[in-house]
Amino acid sequence: MATGPRTQETGIVTTCEPPHYFQAAFDDPPHRSSTVLVDVVPALRGAHLILTHGGIRHGLIHHYDLFWTAALGRLRQQAEVGT
């Protein structure tokens, strides 16, 4: 799994249970190891994603909050265009 042309970290999907969830592990020195778990919860219209990113240094929580908020916002915009 990579995040684009300016990728700083790469991860590997360690668990995948379609269509319910997947988990990826990121272990790319010098970055601290972390995991991302994405749960997919069915909804009346589409689905809800619950993203849990563990193993983040306390000083970087705000950075990742901004990153994931922006990334999921772009995903939502694309999903709305497709409906």
Kindly state whether residue 74 falls inside one of the protein's structural domains. Answer: yes
**What does the alpha-carbon distance between residue 46 and residue 63 come to, in Å, rounded to a whole number?**
28
- Sequence-distant (≥ 6) Cβ neighbours of residue 27 within 8 angstroms: 11, 33
User: In 10 A of CB 34, how many CB atoms?
Assistant: 19
The mean per-residue pLDDT over the stretch 40-61 comes to: 92
- Per-residue confidence band for 29, with pLDDT thresholds at 50, 70 and 90: confident
Kindly state whether residue 2 falls inside one of the protein's structural domains. Answer: no
**What does the alpha-carbon distance between residue 69 and residue 71 come to, in Å, rounded to a whole number?**
6
pTM of the model: 0.76
User: In this predicted structure, what is the pLDDT of residue 5?
Assistant: 59
Q: How many domains does the chain have?
A: 1
Kindly state whether residue 64 falls inside one of the protein's structural domains. Answer: yes
Kindly state whether residue 1 falls inside one of the protein's structural domains. Answer: no
* Domain limits for position 76: 11-81
- Per-residue confidence band for 1, with pLDDT thresholds at 50, 70 and 90: very low
- Per-residue confidence band for 54, with pLDDT thresholds at 50, 70 and 90: very high
| Cβ atoms 20, 40 nearer than 8 A | yes
